[in-house]
């Protein structure tokens, strides 16, 4: 491989003019294009393209359908045109028109592959098998350039040409992203991302404007039929672009600065921080309105569960896939104790009076689940706990326990919690008990993490036999993890039951366990803030992005795979987690950058002490 | 394993041990009482009771075939491939389309053997293809990651494939056309055994024997066992680890494809969600028999099938529990828990890999 | 350092100010709808005010409560919401109801009293939490006039309460659970509101008491069955139906020898069929869904003891993909008495043109009727105020409670005080020719239980 002979210098890359050749392989680009074509075909055949065509992003130019479609060649163009990696000490490869060409090639191939589904859908009726290869799909893909029915093959040539051209341009743009310097690239991508976000989260933004009494802004940015106005798009893009460009430096780390303060200052800031947080928390449901509060309520309930599962999996390393069992126990206990419709016994306690019993029941179920699995290894534990989750749901559903739990009819008429005489039954009102319990759970998590039991959990998570040898009481540690996790889940269950007002067994399926697992994985295990972010993304976003409802699990799955391949520690990981997952890399980096501590000759000079 | 234990530890050990013994005793009591009551109640004839066992074996054979895929991947790579149920489902769905096409062409019932073989090939090819895609896209880069990561990836892949099939092929059920040569029974000792069950069990046994021979007697099989034992050393010994892993997934996929065809021809209705529960049950079966152990997977599958089929009627109804068949899955999972309490490494213990702590 | 401190402080103060301004100014708009309802959260009392039939529709009831009203300005749309199950495995249940609603909208030219009709479609997810979230989304929008939904009774339970407290009306085209309205119709005791009844809730689909009774009566009388086995699948709808069937069958002198259940997701039905074979019942009542029903009919052939057992299903499997199976030949289904006649055929034609295929589930006509009922009510109650429309919510409810003689596709409907508006006729259909598909089955009526005759007419109005 030819390289210009320049000795590597110590200056950071980017300051010197790049001199390495531009190794962009056009054949590879074509191959990426094939993959891109397959992806685009899949996206169309699954139904996303014609479905999303009805969702306006930028009125009247861009619908979500076309965005999703052209994002594929754009993305693959970007990947195909990426310059080779710059290793430490090397100089960055030159970028130039060749990258754009590579991107264009990838885009072109993608477009060419798309001819196949279009022709197939236009000429054959495979809808009994592939339900979405419909005329609607053809129309979207060919930009509405339909061809009159003719003898023989229907070939919408104009439409296809437009499609291929569009893919080519998108690919070229993707390639071009590699050419611009980092600062500009980040600014452009940030601007585009914000435009997309504002366009998709239209409802949230409009609600926010209304909430802060700036209703006029709604008309400025958004078109009446949905979507951003072109003017609004430009404003958002320019704003974000310029801000990003100007303030490219990272803001100083808050934590470091906090630690630089002295005691008195710290305390002052903590108090101010708490006061501001309290005010913000109080005002959130008021500003955001009924529907957003509803979403936040759901997010809060899942967040409670995620905090509990965070303890079981994140701290103690026990892979519990049947976490929904504890959630169900909490919900059903609340239902049985507080509802007037409870079949067997109807003590009709208030929510708060019932809560201790609920937690007690959950703790007992935690012990019931934890004891048999004490001796089981990781994967066995997973399937057994999954089994317990299913057992719980089936038992609540069963005819056998119908007299107590209502069977398939569930238990309805569950009252809402009340404070004094005020009944909390609207979403904004419900937000407060939820947020209070979330803070309690977060505090418990934080306290336990830094306590003795927390250290015991870390020990058994990292290496159980050694922990045992060091004197850690495995039984207590594991059981307490299950019990605490169960208790937190039961909080969530109790809130869920009184919020919805009815419990039916089909609300407690294995999907709930998996969603909670996804939250802590994607958000960042072991880190409270990460878990919160995860809950917002996994539970909150789908409620706001109602267009994607049909494809929600498809996107969950893709997101999981992507996160595991790219960033397995999650969005906001704890430092320990990052260290665990990237052990090898971090070890190598440390070795590379470490200064030798002792001169080698000196080491040889000292006599060896070990005598075996 | 550990000879000495400190005093506080011993107390806890006794407590936990005592609880587990209690569980074992309660389980045995429940089973014995329930079975006794059921059998003496005269509710069902002896032939009927035996028929439960036959039914269980038929269902269990399908679990066994799917369990093979789980057990092999676990044995070689050390993680649960949650998406294996979807590998099964993909073969079953595509097989349904193929079978219906053949039926429309008039071939299905006129040349049944040929038709079955064609659909078998198509189902196996589809399942293998999906398994290989999974390996290439989702799992290859995670070979050295801690086991939780590929597990999560496989959960993601499972959802992805399920809902991809939903999007591509719709939510409605797809039915295989009825195969007339499978109608009919053989009467053996007063029992009616369906031709369909015979075919399923026979096919499963053939596959099992074939796989066992492959793993124990061929060079590729030896490579597989070596990689299962220790990947790095095997590579040092000249085994092409990458190819072996790909082969593992391919073989597992092919087994699932065969199971898919058998399921399709016997049970006949599939839809995008069919793989999920089957996947969980099959993994249960694999663990039951001893994860990593091929004969164990077969035994586990059959055992699970029999437990599911016989358990509710024999034990639960005997104990007076109404709608016992609703609790079929409870029986299955409780059986798993009990077996693991009695024998933590499964019925036959682990084989392909020794240490997976 | 001091500069950034200042910046942070400034930012903090600024954000607090903004929020305070927001709280004082903007917070009210979203809470009026939920506070307007002056505590009519009594969910267990019947509403006695509405059996006075002297209130002419269109006038604000003097003695009624004030639930607020909706003002629709010039050019603004009349917003109708719908909560149906439109995603996931059970999507077909809700999808054809949404399509029927859209046909109803198109029939009115897409507008009502000169204002365009806007449909806010929410997904009920066929679960309680789904229904709850969807309902909250709807009541957060104070411009919504009425709701058409839900598809599943489970989603209907919380939705009914939430919309009722917000003063809205909700008309369902397919909820059949008795707990949402009142019982008993077919006994001499007076009607009592059931636990999940809420004012403002209506439905054009029958109360399951009728279907249970109709199916049981058909089994006992037409089929001459003395013994029956019932199977449900854990769904509240199917379980409720088997309970109702059991009550009426035993009441009529028959014996339910086994009431059992399967799970959704079960594939091997042979063990349970083996148990049932020993009992050799005359009738097997299985009002469940696909694919569990598929497995039962495909596997029952292996049990010669069940060869003479008549299989009975309900509207959960009254769908094309089930009845085309050859094994379903001879099977009997109970379901809502189907619409017929030229008006219905017109509707089907319009539906096909809009959707591209005929309706697949059994409640499409009921959904169409529900939509039309709501539109009629709005037209009757709305008052013009210049260019705007004012719709009094209480008057809207009252109109619906007083509704009689509504000519719908499913019959002549009248709403009683608990919101049951349906024509209580149950049809029994038999599948004599699987290749004719669902339309063939629905046309082959082998029995009708027009139980309206058995009911005290006071109760139906």
pLDDT per residue over B285-302, tens digit each?
A: 998 888 878 888 889 999
Chain A contact for C63 (CB, 8 A cutoff)? no
More confident site: C427 or A513: A513
Mean pLDDT of C400-405: 89
Among A50-54, A229-233, A372-376, name the most confident range: A372-376
3-state secondary structure of C427: strand
CA A572, CA A530: separation in Å to the nearest integer? 4
Rounded Cα gap, residues A283 and B317, in angstroms: 57
Report the range of poorest mean pLDDT among C99-103, C231-235, C356-360, C397-401.
Answer: C356-360
User: Any chain C CB within 8 A of the CB of B329?
Assistant: yes
Interval B337-347: pLDDT, tens:
888 887 878 88
Provide the shortest C-alpha distance from residue A283 to chain C (in Å).
7
What's the pLDDT band for C64 if we cut at 50, 70, 90?
low
| d(C-alpha C88, C-alpha C98), whole Å | 15
Residue B90 has pLDDT above 90, yes or no: yes
Give chain C's length.
461
* pLDDT given for residue A612 in this prediction: 39
Would the pLDDT of B336 be above 50?
A: yes
In this prediction, residue A16 carries a pLDDT of: 54
Query: What's the pLDDT score for residue A181?
Result: 73
Residues A128 and A243 in one domain: no
Average predicted confidence (pLDDT) for chain A? 81
Within a 10 A sphere around the Cβ of A593, how many other Cβ atoms? 8
More confident residue, A24 or C323: C323
Residue A119 inside a domain? The answer is yes
Q: Report CB contact under 8 Å: A212, C4.
A: no
The pLDDT value given to residue C28: 37
From B19, B157, B167, residue closest to A551, measured CB to CB: B167
Give me the percent of chain B exceeding a pLDDT of 70. 94
At A131, which helix (H) or strand (E)?
none
Angle of CA points B96, C441, C92, to nearest 5° = 55
Following DSSP, what letter does each residue of A186-207 receive, concatenated?
HHHHHHHHHHHHHHHTHHHHHH
In this predicted structure, the answer to whether residue C20 has a pLDDT above a threshold of 60 is no
C153-212 tens-digit pLDDT:
888 999 999 999 899 999 998 888 888 998 888 888 888 888 889 999 999 988 888 888
The residues, any chain, with a CB within 8 Å of residue C278's CB and separated by 6 or more, are B43, B44, B45, B48, C305
* Domain span holding position B154: 46-356
Domain assignment of residue A594, yes or no: no
Contacts of C129 (CB under 8 A, 6+ apart): A298, A496, A500, A507, C158
List A residues 391-410 in contact with C (Cβ-Cβ < 8 A). 394, 397-399, 407-410
Q: If 0-12 CB within 10 Å is exposed, 13-18 middle and 19+ buried, where does residue C64 land?
A: middle
B268 touches chain C (CB under 8 A): yes
User: How confident is the model at residue A523, as a pLDDT?
Assistant: 87
Contact assignment for C321 to B172 by CB distance below 8 Å: yes
Higher confidence at residue A167 or residue B14?
A167
Q: Based on the domain organization, do A368 and A439 belong to the same domain?
A: yes
Would you say residue A247 has pLDDT above 80? no
On whether both A72 and A208 belong to a single domain, the answer is: no
- Which of B20, B280, B340 is nearest residue A386 as measured by Cβ atoms? B280
Whole-number Å distance between alpha carbons of A93 and A576: 35
- CB distance from B280 to chain C under 8 Å? no
pLDDT category at A535 given cuts 50, 70, 90 is very high
Within a domain: B203: yes
Distance CA B347, CA B71 (A): 14
- On the question of pLDDT at A328 being above 80, the answer is yes
Residue C56: what pLDDT? 35
Q: What is the pLDDT of residue B130?
A: 95
In a domain, A174, yes or no: yes
Q: Which of residues A179, A199, A223 is at a domain's end?
A: A179
Query: Is B31 among the domain residues?
Result: no
Q: What six digits make up the tokens of C431?
A: 């599948």
Q: CA-to-CA distance for B100 and B96, rounded, in angstroms?
A: 6
Does residue B14 lie in a domain region?
no
Residues A365 and A490 in one domain: yes
Please give the tally of structural domains in chain A. Answer: 3
Q: How confident is the model at residue A285 (pLDDT cuts 50, 70, 90)?
A: confident
User: Domain containing A234: what range?
Assistant: 182-249
Sequence-distant (≥ 6) Cβ neighbours of residue A490 within 8 angstroms:
A326, A327, A329, A330, A333, A358, A359, A361, A362
Would you say residue B17 lies in a domain? Answer: no
Omega of the bond leading into A451 within 30 degrees of 0 (cis): no
Contacts of B55 in chain C (CB under 8 A): 268, 270-271, 274
* pLDDT tens readout for residues A97-109: 888 888 888 888 8
pLDDT value at A533 more than 70: yes
The model's confidence at residue C58, banded by pLDDT at 50, 70 and 90, is: very low
* pLDDT reading at B122 higher than 90: yes
Q: Which residue in A has a C-alpha nearest to residue C5's C-alpha?
A: A257
Residues A122 and A191 in one domain: no
* pTM for the full predicted model: 0.84
Q: DSSP readout, C212-257?
A: HHHHHHIIIIIS--SEEEEEE-S-HHHHHHHHHHHHHHHHTT-EEE
Last residue of a domain, one of A136, A152, A179: A179
Determine the pLDDT at residue A143: 80
Cβ pairs B/C, distance under 8 A = 92
- Per-residue pLDDT tens for B212-221? 898 888 998 8
Same domain, A227 and A85: no
Interchain pair C326, B178: CB under 8 A: yes
Cβ neighbors of A145 (< 8 A, separation 6 or more) are A156, A158, A159, A162
Query: Is-cis flag, bond preceding A60, omega within 30?
Result: yes
C100-116: b or e for each residue (b if 16 or more CB lie within 10 Å)?
A: bbbbbbeeeeeebeebe
Residue B135 structure tokens = 């390996």
Residue A417's pLDDT is 87
State yes or no: pLDDT of A419 exceeds 60. yes
Cβ contact B273–C265 (<8 Å): yes
Give how far A85 is from chain B: nearest CA, Å. Answer: 18
A262 close contact with C: CB closer than 8 A: no
Comparing CB atoms, the residue among C260, C266, C268 nearest residue B55 is C268
pLDDT tens digits for range A194-226: 888 888 887 777 777 777 777 777 777 777 666
Chain C partners of B171 at a C-beta cutoff of 8 Å?
A: 88-89, 91-92
Name the residue among A214, A205, A291, A426 with its Cα closest to residue C21. A214
* Partners of residue C120 on adjacent β-strands: C81
C412 - beta bridge partners? C407
Q: Is A157 found in the same domain as A108?
A: yes
B32 assigned to some structural domain: no
Q: Omega into B110 within 30° of 0, i.e. cis?
A: no
What is the number of other CB atoms lying within 10 angstroms of the CB of residue B220? 15
> Residue A6: what pLDDT?
46
Going by pLDDT thresholds of 50, 70 and 90, the confidence category of residue A151 is low
Residue C16 is nearest to which of A279, A341, A412, comparing CB atoms? A279
Overall domain count for chain B: 1
Q: What is the pLDDT of residue A583?
A: 67
Mean pLDDT for the stretch of residues A63-74: 85
Searching chain B, which residue's CA lies closest to the CA of residue A382? B80
Q: Rounded mean pLDDT of C379-394?
A: 88
In the numeric block, which tokens belong to residue C295? Answer: 């497995």
pLDDT at A330: 95
> Are A375 and B356 in contact (CB < 8 Å)?
no
- Judgement on whether residues A21 and A44 belong to the same structural domain of the protein: yes
How far is B279 from chain C, CA to nearest CA, in Å? 12
Span B67-77, average pLDDT: 85
Contacts of B285 (CB under 8 A, 6+ apart): B60, B63, B64, B66, B67, B297, B300, B301, B303, B304, B305
R_g (Cα) of chain B, nearest Å = 22
CA pseudo-torsion sign A16, A20, A21, A24: negative
A125/A268 same-domain check: no
Indicate whether B241 belongs to any domain: yes
- Supply the Cα-derived Rg of chain A in whole angstroms: 29
Alpha carbon of A462: minimum distance to chain B alpha carbons (Å): 11
Q: What is the DSSP letter of A413?
A: -
On whether both A515 and A497 belong to a single domain, the answer is yes
Sign of CA dihedral A511, A513, A517, A520: positive
Q: Which of B127, B69, B59 is nearest to B291 (CA)?
A: B69
Residue A611, pLDDT above cutoff 50? no
Strands C78-84 and C144-149: parallel
What CA–CA distance (Å, rounded) separates C198 from C142?
A: 20
pLDDT-derived band at C55 (thresholds 50, 70, 90) equals: very low
Asked if the bond preceding C184 is cis, omega within 30° of 0, the reply is: yes
Shortest CA gap C424–chain B (Å): 30
Residue B41 included in any domain: no
DSSP letter assigned to residue C72 = E
Q: Rounded mean pLDDT of chain B?
A: 84
Contacts across the A-B interface (CB distance below 8 Å): 170
Task: Please state, in angstroms and rounded to a whole number, the distance separating the CA atoms of residues B52 and B49.
Answer: 5
Question: Which segment, A16-20, A306-310, B191-195, B204-208, is predicted with the most confidence on average?
Answer: A306-310
Same domain flag for A287 and A371:
yes
Facing A384 at nearest CB: one of B2, B142, B340 = B340
pLDDT in tens, B313-324: 888 888 888 888
**Whether complex ipTM tops 0.85:** yes
Contact C138, C144 (CB under 8 A): yes
Give the CATH number, domain containing residue B236. Answer: 1.10.3470
The answer to whether residues A24 and A77 belong to one domain is yes
Best mutation target, C126, C270, C316, C320, to test chain B (most B CBs within 10 A): C270
């Amino acid at each position: 491989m030819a390289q210009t002979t320049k000795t590597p210098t110590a200056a950071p890359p980017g300051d010197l003019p790049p001199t390495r050749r531009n190794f962009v392989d056009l054949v590879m680009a074509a191959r990426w294009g094939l993959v891109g074509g397959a992806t685009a075909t899949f996206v169309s055949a699954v139904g996303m393209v014609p479905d999303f065509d009805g969702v306006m992003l930028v009125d009247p130019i861009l619908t979500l359908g076309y965005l999703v479609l052209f994002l594929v060649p754009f993305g693959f163009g970007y990947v195909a045109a990426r310059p080779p990696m710059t290793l430490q000490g090397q100089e960055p490869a030159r970028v130039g028109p060749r990258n754009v060409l590579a991107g264009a090639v990838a885009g072109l191939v993608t477009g060419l592959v798309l001819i196949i589904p279009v022709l197939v859908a236009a000429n054959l009726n495979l809808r009994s098998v592939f339900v979405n290869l419909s005329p609607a799909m053809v129309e979207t893909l060919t930009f509405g350039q339909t061809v009159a029915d003719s003898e023989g093959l229907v070939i919408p040539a104009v439409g296809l040409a437009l499609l291929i051209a569009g893919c080519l341009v998108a690919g070229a743009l993707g390639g071009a992203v590699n050419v611009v310097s980092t600062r500009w690239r980040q600014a452009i991508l940030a601007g585009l991302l914000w435009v997309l976000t504002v366009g998709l989260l239209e409802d949230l933004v409009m609600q926010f404007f209304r909430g802060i009494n700036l209703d006029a802004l709604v008309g400025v940015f958004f078109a009446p039929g949905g979507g951003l106005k072109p003017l609004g798009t430009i404003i958002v893009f320019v704003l974000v672009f310029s801000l990003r460009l100007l303030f490219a430096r990272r803001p100083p780390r808050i934590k470091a600065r906090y630690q630089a303060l002295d005691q008195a200052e710290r305390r002052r800031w903590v108090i101010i921080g708490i006061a501001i947080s309290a005010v913000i928390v109080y005002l959130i449901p008021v500003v955001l309105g009924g529907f957003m509060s509803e979403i936040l309520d759901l997010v809060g309930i899942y967040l409670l569960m995620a905090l509990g599962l965070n303890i079981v999996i994140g701290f103690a390393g026990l892979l519990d896939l049947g976490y929904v069992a504890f959630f169900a126990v909490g919900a059903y206990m609340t239902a049985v104790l507080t509802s007037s419709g409870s079949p067997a016994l109807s003590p009709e306690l208030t929510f708060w009076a019932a809560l201790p019993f609920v937690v007690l029941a959950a703790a007992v179920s935690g012990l019931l689940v934890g004891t048999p699995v004490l001796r089981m290894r990781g994967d066995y534990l997973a399937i057994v706990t999954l089994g317990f989750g299913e057992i719980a749901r089936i038992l609540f559903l069963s005819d056998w326990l119908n007299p107590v739990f209502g069977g398939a009819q569930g238990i309805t008429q569950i009252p809402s919690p009340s404070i004094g005489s005020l009944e909390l039954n609207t979403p904004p009102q419900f937000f407060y008990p939820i947020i209070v319990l979330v803070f309690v759970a977060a505090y418990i998590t934080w306290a336990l993490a830094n306590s003795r039991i927390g250290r015991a959990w870390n020990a058994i998570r990292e290496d159980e036999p050694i922990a045992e040898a060091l004197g850690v009481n495995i039984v207590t540690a594991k059981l307490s993890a299950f019990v605490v996790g169960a208790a937190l889940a039961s909080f969530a269950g109790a809130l869920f039951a009184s919020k919805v007002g009815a419990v039916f067994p089909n609300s407690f399926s294995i999907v709930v366990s998996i969603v909670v697992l996804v939250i802590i994985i994607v958000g960042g295990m072991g880190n409270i803030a990460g878990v919160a972010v995860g809950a917002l993304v996994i539970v909150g976003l789908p409620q706001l992005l109602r267009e994607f409802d049909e494809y929600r699990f498809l996107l969950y799955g893709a997101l999981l795979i992507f996160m595991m391949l790219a960033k397995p520690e999650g969005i906001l990981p704890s430092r320990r987690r990052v260290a665990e997952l990237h052990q090898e890399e971090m070890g190598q980096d440390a070795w590379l950058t470490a200064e030798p501590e002792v001169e080698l000759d000196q080491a040889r000079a000292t006599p060896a002490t070990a005598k075996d | 394993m550990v000879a000495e234990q400190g005093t506080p530890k011993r107390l806890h050990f006794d407590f936990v041990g005592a609880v587990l013994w209690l569980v074992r005793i309660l389980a045995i009591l429940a089973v014995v009482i329930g079975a006794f009551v059921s059998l003496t109640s005269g509710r069902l004839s002896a032939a009927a009771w035996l028929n439960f066992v036959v039914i269980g074996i038929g269902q269990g054979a399908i679990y066994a075939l799917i369990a093979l895929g789980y057990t092999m991947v676990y044995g070689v790579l050390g993680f649960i491939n949650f998406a294996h149920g979807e590998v099964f489902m993909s073969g079953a769905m595509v097989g349904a389309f193929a079978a219906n096409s053949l039926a429309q062409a008039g071939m299905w019932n006129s040349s049944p053997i040929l038709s079955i073989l064609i659909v078998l090939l198509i189902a196996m090819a589809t399942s293998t293809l999906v398994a290989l895609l999974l390996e290439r896209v989702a799992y290859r880069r995670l070979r050295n990651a801690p086991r939780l990561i590929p597990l999560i990836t496989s959960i993601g892949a499972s959802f992805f494939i399920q809902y991809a099939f939903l999007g591509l092929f719709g939510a409605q059920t797809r039915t295989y056309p009825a195969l007339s040569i499978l109608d009919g029974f053989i009467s053996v000792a007063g029992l009616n055994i369906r031709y369909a069950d015979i075919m399923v069990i026979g096919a499963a046994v053939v596959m099992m024997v074939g796989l066992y021979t492959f793993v124990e007697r061929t060079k590729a099989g030896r490579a597989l066992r070596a990689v299962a034992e220790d990947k790095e050393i095997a590579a040092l010994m000249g085994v092409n680890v990458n190819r072996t892993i790909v082969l593992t997934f391919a073989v597992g996929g092919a087994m699932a494809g065969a199971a898919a065809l058998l399921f399709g021809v016997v049970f006949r209705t599939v839809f995008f969600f069919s793989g999920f529960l089957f996947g969980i049950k099959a993994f249960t079966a694999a663990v039951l028999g001893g994860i990593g152990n091929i004969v164990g997977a077969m035994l586990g599958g059959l055992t699970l099938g029999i437990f599911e089929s016989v358990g509710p009627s024999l034990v639960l109804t005997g104990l007076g529990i109404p709608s016992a068949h609703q609790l079929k899955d409870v029986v299955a999972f409780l059986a798993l828990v009990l077996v693991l309490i009695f024998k933590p490494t499964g019925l036959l213990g682990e084989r392909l890999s020794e240490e997976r702590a | 350092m001091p500069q950034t401190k200042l910046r942070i402080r400034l930012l903090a103060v600024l954000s607090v100010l903004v929020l305070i301004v927001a709280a004082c100014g903007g917070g009210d708009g979203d809470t009026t709808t939920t506070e307007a309802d002056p505590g009519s959260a009594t969910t267990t009392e019947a509403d006695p005010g509405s059996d006075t039939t002297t209130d002419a529709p269109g006038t604000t009831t003097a003695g009624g409560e004030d639930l607020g009203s909706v003002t629709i300005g010039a050019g603004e749309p009349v917003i109708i919401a719908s909560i149906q199950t439109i995603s996931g495995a059970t999507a077909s249940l809700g999808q054809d109801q949404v399509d029927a609603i859209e046909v109803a909208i198109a029939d009115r030219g897409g507008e009502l009293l000169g204002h365009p009709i806007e449909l806010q479609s929410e997904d009920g997810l066929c679960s309680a939490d789904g229904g709850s979230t969807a309902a909250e989304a709807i009541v957060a929008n104070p411009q919504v006039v009425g709701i058409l939904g839900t598809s599943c009774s489970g989603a209907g339970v919380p939705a009914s309460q939430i919309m009722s407290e917000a003063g809205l009306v909700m008309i369902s085209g397919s909820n059949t659970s008795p707990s949402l309205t009142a019982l008993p119709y077919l006994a001499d005791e007076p009607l009592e509101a059931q636990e999940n009844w809420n004012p403002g809730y209506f439905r054009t689909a029958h109360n399951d008491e009728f279907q249970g009774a109709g199916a049981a009566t058909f089994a006992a009388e037409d089929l001459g069955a003395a013994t029956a086995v019932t199977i449900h699948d854990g769904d509240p709808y199917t379980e409720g139906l088997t309970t109702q069937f059991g009550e009426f069958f035993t009441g009529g002198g028959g014996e339910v020898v086994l009431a059992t259940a399967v799970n959704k997701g079960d594939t091997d039905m042979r063990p349970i069929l083996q148990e049932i074979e020993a009992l050799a019942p005359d009738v097997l009542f299985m009002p469940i869904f696909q694919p569990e029903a598929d497995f039962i009919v495909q596997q029952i052939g292996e049990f010669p003891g069940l060869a003479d057992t008549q299989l009975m299903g309900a509207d959960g499997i009254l769908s094309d993909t089930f009845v085309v199976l050859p094994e379903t030949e001879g099977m009997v289904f109970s379901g809502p008495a189907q619409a017929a006649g030229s008006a219905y055929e017109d509707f089907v034609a319009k539906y096909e043109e809009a959707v591209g295929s005929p309706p697949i589930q059994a409640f499409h006509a009921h959904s169409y009727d529900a939509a039309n009922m709501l539109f009629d009510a709005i037209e009757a109650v709305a008052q013009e105020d210049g260019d705007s429309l004012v719709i009094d919510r209480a008057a809207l409810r009252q109109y619906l409670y007083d509704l009689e003689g509504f000519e719908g596709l499913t019959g002549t409907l009248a709403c009683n005080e608990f919101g049951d508006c349906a024509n209580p006729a149950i049809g029994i259909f038999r599948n004599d020719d699987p290749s004719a598909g669902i339309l063939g089955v629905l046309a082959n009526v082998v029995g009708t239980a027009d139980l309206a005759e058995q009911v005290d007419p006071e109760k139906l109005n």
